[in-house]
Amino acid sequence: MTNDLKKKRFWKLSLILFLTEMVRGMFILSYLPALPTIGLISIGLSSIVITMHYVLDAVTNVWLGFLIRRIGEVWTMLLSYLLGIGAMVAVGFDQSFWTLLAAACLLGVSVCPIWIMALSNVEEKNRGRDMGLVFFSWLTGLGAGMVAMNFLIGIFSEAAVFAMAGVFVVNLLVFLVLPGNRQAVVEAVGGEDAPETVGEKVGREVYSAGDGAGSSSKRRDRSGQKKRLPLGDTWHILKRHMKNMPGIMLQGLGVGMLLPVLPTYITSELSLNYFQYTFFILIVFGLVAFSMTVLSRGLDTYSMRLTFAVICGGFFIYAAGIIWFSTLETIWLIFAIASFIGLSYGIMLPAWNKYLAGTIEEGRRAESWGVISSVQGIGAMIGPALGGLTADFFGTVDATLLASGLIFVLLFFYYAALFAFRWRRT
């Protein structure tokens, strides 16, 4: 019974993550890039708004785990819904630059809590499967949001913006109504045997649980020893994961570089129309989602050596495919390669996160995922600007494709050497 309740809770968190990322896909991937085409704001201002969204996302992930400890999971989630719904309603009534900027920043803050909660509820024995579900929810949410908003804009024009607030309201109702709350798990397990909340996981290592915890500037545990403040704890996590920082940051950077040039590449270089472009993206997203949910299940069955091989293989296939794109003009061949990249990257992401999860200290799971998400966010934040500048400097989007592919070539060689060294030691 308890396992069923835990499973319900995890599925509920995954559904909430899907709906949250759907709003992000609608606003960041579809609505904002469409505004320059109708003259509301310039491309430069639109890029600033998108960049600031990722800045706030990255910054929020650093300290959010500690906020959850302070006010609890429920209040943190309710606060995130308040910010998100308020931001989307404001955009519905005003599309000026400053309103869009404020809304993007607030959305960047509001999407963070569900990520930490979902990742912190991954079960160790089903890590590969659970990671696959988390990233399936993320990717399908982004894709569904982008595709849905594209069609809504075509049908309802500016009135489509209210759909974003509507999805956030549905998200809130799912959080409040659907079964899978932690309280049900607590009642089933009973008292002291109940699993920790995300906040308790944070607090067990960072803050004192007893009375007389000390002043606001210093904390002590039950034995009276000083405990690190959030800044010190963050530095400890960064040092522990230093060898994985290239993979954590450069993946987001390499993929992010493609965001501003992909529409131009598909519609101009390949001469596809608007609906063909949407269909192309939808098919690739679907293949990635299939790979994440179906193919990733084998990661829990086989050894970590398979996980290492999948990671390196995913880096290599992505690099080779993207670099090959820069030399091709045949649509069916490009589509076939993109489909293969989608399948390989879809299984590589759960493998990568399974590997990362195995390096995290048990007592710092929430803060560790928060810091890791923050570093990933920095790469995703820099990537679009770097991709656009590269295309402008060289006068072709092929330069951005080549640069993105070379980043993954570096990741392939780095992690092939790292895993080979670890393999020899064991």
pLDDT at residue 358 in the model: 82
What pLDDT score was predicted for residue 99? Answer: 94
Q: Is the dihedral of CA 25, 26, 32, 38 positive or negative?
A: positive
Domain covering 2-183+198-206+225-425 in this structure, CATH number:
1.20.1250.20
Domain boundaries, given as residue ranges, for the chain: 2-183+198-206+225-425
414 contacts 246 by C-beta, under 8 angstroms: yes
CA-nearest of 115, 116, 120, 123 to 2 is 123
Q: What is residue 295's predicted lDDT score, i.e. its pLDDT?
A: 65
Determine the pLDDT at residue 411. Answer: 94
Please say whether the dihedral angle defined by the alpha carbons of residues 415, 416, 422 and 426, taken in this order, is positive or negative: positive
Mean pLDDT by 10 residues, the chain (426 residues): 71 91 91 72 73 84 78 88 94 91 94 86 73 82 86 77 92 82 47 50 41 38 45 76 87 84 70 71 80 69 77 92 83 83 85 83 73 80 80 82 94 92 74
Q: Can you tell me the distance from the alpha carbon of 366 to that of 76, in angstroms, rounded to the nearest whole number?
A: 14
